[in-house]
Amino acid sequence: MSKINELILVLRVAYARAYVRIKGVNRDLTHFFIDVFLPLLGISAIILAYKSMGAPENLLGFAAIGGAMIAFWYNVLWSMGSQLYWDKEQGNLQLYIISPAPLIGILLGMAIGGAFNMSLRAITILIATSLLFNIKFNLNAILPAFLIFILTLFALYSLGMIFASTFLRFGRSISKINELLGEPILFFSGVYFPLKLFPIVIQIVVSIIPLALGIEGMREILILNKTLFEIIWILILLIALGIIFFVIAVKMLEYLEKLGKNQGTLTLKWD
Amino acid sequence: MGLKSISLLRILFWLSYQIEANWTKFFIYLIYITIRPTFTLMLMIFIYIAVSAVKGPSLEYGYYILVGQAFYNLIGSGIIGIAYTFWDDKEHYKMLKYIYITNVKLSFYLFGRGFYHFVEGLYPLVIAFVLGAYIIQYPLFELKPNFPLLLLNIILGFIWITALGLLVASFLLFTTNYGWIVIDSVVSSLLLFGGVLYSTEILPYPLNLVANYLPIKYWLDVNRNAIKGIDITSVFNDLIFLIILSAAYLIIALIIFRICENIAKRKGLLDIPISF
């Protein structure tokens, strides 16, 4: 099969997997309402906490943007990272492998579908928060902010693809790993507060977390009215992280699939 | 509570520990249960730090959030301990029918499982509290807690948290895929309406009235005062409200749970796992 045909196959598989994910999650609008309403409760509490302390307006906007992005992290952990493990448990993984569908296409489809679903929710949450608490964003800068947003998703879901292939190897303990990665990463991403509160060393270390970079970038543009040129380092880092994570994910998936076949663990349940 | 009940409670406590911790060693498990509440608390503490960086520190606010969030984590642990246990046993492990063929009532079984989660939640509470106090530079060693009041309040907390867990579990008897959503809704609502991060007076009317009927508001206030060592007479009103509300919640929860359980039995819902 030529490289172009391989690529076409990957994209077709990605489309098929993304279709299932998007259709499955959005066919019942109750889910959409719940996915928006529940985070809104938490974000409202944070914004009210800021208001009760007489915080400056920009901190409210910071919390709104960070709060809207939280869903992406949980989606990456639970709907990307754990997915191949669940597929293995339910017997779908072996079906994927005996079909001509490349696993990377399946991962890509999961990422595109998940990112699309979460984007709909995150944007709705942001609009709802803005209306509820009268938070003003620099709407003239919506395009550069959207660019940062898309690059964040690219880097974040590429990281999710690494998790998915790695967690395939971990087995049952992934739920514990997911739980351990949840809140610490949200904390180090500064979802509710500016990253500048961290010491400089920690700020440097957390810049390998796409969520932290993306939130910071969007805040700089939408709240602090900075131009894309002024935060070009965020743009470059997000592109670099996205590419690096994507390449690692592809290599890791190939390696772990091969390892799983050699050791006969690909269909081993409850390990 | 008779000797038999205490013995059953001990067994349920042991069972819960085995289910939760059998995947690792005790020391690693202690670290595991500490990480999530600690980082959740840190997220909230940094809200205070963010404001302090602009407006200067106000330790009273820091203390308010510190105690509020540390004990709020315990609420989450307690409610999830009952409600999620029930959902997990019914839908995931499919063990509910086996519980019914033992001589333990389902409500007591959930009470015992919840008791474990509540006690387990006390450990990360202490760790997170000390760490949080250190971060906001609260003079921890100047505190002279009123331990009897604190203990009484923790017991009252267990009662109303158990009641909320049972109420959620009652609902979960009939639901399929909405288990986590119901649990999350209740826990998140308590964060919004319960005076965890701010005084409930800041809530717009009529939402501020909701808080008056939630035990969490009085419970957290008594905790804040008890840790500072304030005398019981100073929090008497809050304590009375808390006792009344805790008792009312427990009675209502037991009645509703019994009614829902009977309906579920009649309709044959107890043995129908649908989520997985």
Q: Mean pLDDT of all residues in chain B? A: 88
Q: Tell me the residues of chain A between 159 and 188 that have a Cβ less than 8 Å away from chain B.
A: 172-173, 176, 179-180, 182-184, 186-187
Q: What is the pLDDT of residues B54-103, one digit of tens each?
A: 888 888 899 999 999 999 989 988 888 888 888 888 877 888 888 888 88
Would you give the DSSP letter of residue B104? S
Q: Which residues of B touch A34 (CB under 8 A)?
A: 178, 181
Distance from CA of B200 to the nearest CA of A (A): 10
CB contact under 8 A, B189 and A41: yes
Count of H-run helices and E-run strands, chain B: 10, 0
Q: What is the pLDDT of residues B100-141, one digit of tens each?
A: 888 888 888 888 898 999 999 999 999 999 999 999 999 888
Burial of A203 (0-12, 13-18, 19+ CB in 10 A): middle
Q: Which residues of A touch B48 (CB under 8 A)?
A: 53
Report, as an integer, the average pLDDT of A229-236: 92
Spell out the alpha helix ranges (H) of B56-95. 59-87
Q: In the prediction, which pLDDT does A171 show?
A: 65
pTM: 0.90
Three-state secondary structure of chain A: CCHHHHHHHHHHHHHHHHHHHHHHHHCCHHHHHHHHHHHHHHHHHHHHHHHHCCCCHHHHHHHHHHHHHHHHHHHHHHHHHCHHHHHHHHCHHHHHHHCCCCHHHHHHHHHHHHHHHHHHHHHHHHHHHHHHHCCCCCHHHHHHHHHHHHHHHHHHHHHHHHHHHHHHHHHHHHHHHHHHHHHHHHHHCCCCCCHHHCCHHHHHHHCCCHHHHHHHHHHHHHCCCCCCHHHHHHHHHHHHHHHHHHHHHHHHHHHHHHHHHHHCCCCCCCC
CB contact under 8 A, A45 and B191: yes
Q: B21 CB near a chain A CB, below 8 Å? A: no
Q: A78 CB near a chain B CB, below 8 Å? A: no
Distance from CA of A177 to the nearest CA of B (A): 9
| pLDDT > 90? residue A193 | yes
Q: A267 CB near a chain B CB, below 8 Å? A: no
**Torsion, Cα of B217, B221, B226, B227 (10° steps):** 100
User: Taking CA atoms, what residue in B is nearest to A132?
Assistant: B204
Tokens of A271: 């390990």
